[in-house]
Chain A
């Protein structure tokens, strides 16, 4: 059943457009894909000249909530996962995104935007396992709120 009460199409579309503008700036000015897992993962092993734009991008990303707070209060952020679950989740996300060469941004937004079949398959796959995981954890096992 669709939750119309929490349905926020306007802020979702506008926020999405901001993200799309961000990926556009990076590909048109820097010639790079705005894939967050790739940008972070690449920091581990690349040369100095390649490292600096990655650091700049991450600094921008981390600064977003700080800049936001200069003007207004942060929107609601609710994390129900326990510390143990956060650690497990983080480990799997870190390993999986590097093995699969991308996450929601690199495959989901940039990849689909350039109609890459590889990224479309990856996105459908992680959406599917995401759906199944929430179903199992929330409805079968009752482990997440």
Chain B
């Protein structure tokens, strides 16, 4: 399916705004993420407010989107239909949480760190891409 030029711009704008939001909220700072994940230490609960802010806005958008078959730009609305709570979901989430807790970096902030020119960010992103590639290899064999 051919994607309209405007849709490329909206994707670009969405990514940009997402990244600015990560920087503004503090989520792009791994030390702050670790402070949020540290229940036993001095617990910085700020990041729960990032989730609350994000969810409250996007909940409106998803309520609108769910009632439509096509987006405002005429593209199909692709909302995941999988409802199964299966082993891959749980094992994947368990692993992701462990990795997140080790360095305080999840995929979005990792990409922002890359743009910020952080050497540590580059190391993380390369390793993350290899991890994703490994999944594709394992998944193809299943």
Contacts and interface: CB of A to CB of B under 8 A. Distances in A.
Contact of A99 (B29, B48, B95): B95
Interface of B: 1-3, 6-32, 34-35, 37-62, 64-66, 70-73, 75-80, 82-85, 88-108, 110-118, 120-121, 123-136, 139
A81 to B, nearest CB: 4
Interface string A1-32: 11101111101111111111111111111111
Given A16-B21, A23-B14, A36-B108, 13 more contacts: A1-B42, A12-B48, A12-B49, A63-B15, A65-B19, A65-B115, A89-B127, A95-B92, A101-B82, A101-B92, A118-B82, A127-B97, A139-B40
Contacts of A74: 23, 116
Q: Give chain A's interface secondary structure class.
A: helix
B114 A121 contact: no
Question: Looking at B7, B93, B120, which has the most chain A CB atoms within 10 Å of its CB?
Answer: B93
A13 B12 CA distance: 23
A117 B83 contact: yes
B23 A64 contact: yes
Contact of A129 (B7, B19, B76, B97): B97
Tell which of A94, A96, A114 has the most Cβ of chain B within 10 Å.
A94
